[in-house]
Amino acid sequence: MSNPTAAMLVIGDEILSGRTRDANMYFLAGELAKVGIDLHEVRIVRDDREAIVVAVQSMAGTYDHVFTSGGIGPTHDDITADCVALAFGCEIDVRADARALLEAHYARTGAELNAARLRMARIPDKATLIDNPVSVAPGFSIGNVHVMAGVPSVFQAMVASVLPTLTGGAPLISETLRIDRGEGDIAGPLGALAEAYPALSMGSYPFQLASGQYGANIVIRGADAALVRSAMDKLTALFKA
């Protein structure tokens, strides 16, 4: 049985303008690999209604799970929740359960629960809240789409809240061999080995040292640890110095 598939949608002008370097994608990719959910695609789109709706619909229809990051805060450029509701043809408004979380939080901190902050309680009708232990304002899951914040500490906490509720697959086993030769010398034998192990994925990731020396990290991945080990033994024998 193959693993569940996933996609990630990052919403944010700040990534596309080169201002901010995304951190959430790298984090989520690692967490999904641990639980055996295969991340097949990532898209990054602008804070633009149509771009978000089209991407959510396309990805939700293609993959088992879609994880979004960004655009659920209190400011005018936070439009993700409304766009996801639109993508599902679902009503959205300030919801009592989310509002109660915010009221309790701001009663504690003394800040005012003004109109802007109340925007963070806008949750689609049929959605389930995702717990936010960092800053309270919740994310939500609707259908197979999980909507989370863009601030890395909050995103990570929400991923930790939502992943245990999902059914994973076989965690991906991965082994790496560093070979200090150019990829052009490695490619022939590696290609033959990859053909002999169709159940495994073998990737070659080249590097160049400051000395000018070329090399590559060869990564063998698969769900079957014994098979990965067997292929790695053969690879090592092929390229032992």
Residues that bind a copy of itself (CB under 8 A): 13-22, 25-26, 28-33, 39-47, 51, 73-77, 111-112, 114-117, 119-120, 134-135, 151, 153, 172, 174, 182-188, 190-191, 194-195, 201-208, 216, 219, 221
CB of 70 to a copy of itself, least distance (A): 10
Calculate the CA dihedral of residues 87, 23, 4, 137 and round it to 10 degrees: -50
CB of 21 to a copy of itself, least distance (A): 4
Does residue 74 contact residue 108 with C-beta atoms inside 8 Å? no
Residues facing 66 on adjacent strands: 7, 145
Q: How far apart are CA 58 and CA 41, in angstroms?
A: 12
Residues facing 203 on adjacent strands: 219
CB of 207 to a copy of itself, least distance (A): 7
Q: Indicate the residue among 133 and 188 with the shorter CB distance to a copy of itself.
A: 188
Q: Indicate the residue among 81 and 142 with the shorter CB distance to a copy of itself.
A: 81
Q: How far apart are CA 14 and CA 44, in angstroms?
A: 10
Q: Indicate the residue among 77 and 131 with the shorter CB distance to a copy of itself.
A: 77
**Which secondary structure element, helix H or strand E, spans residue 188, and what is its range?**
helix 183-196
Q: How far apart are CA 133 and CA 162, in angstroms?
A: 12
CB of 205 to a copy of itself, least distance (A): 6
CB of 47 to a copy of itself, least distance (A): 7
Q: How far apart are CA 31 and CA 131, in angstroms?
A: 17
Q: How far apart are CA 69 and CA 71, in angstroms?
A: 7
Residue that is written with structure tokens 């984090």 in the block = 27
Q: Indicate the residue among 142 and 220 with the shorter CB distance to a copy of itself.
A: 220
CB of 55 to a copy of itself, least distance (A): 9
Q: Indicate the residue among 26 and 126 with the shorter CB distance to a copy of itself.
A: 26
Q: Indicate the residue among 90 and 136 with the shorter CB distance to a copy of itself.
A: 136
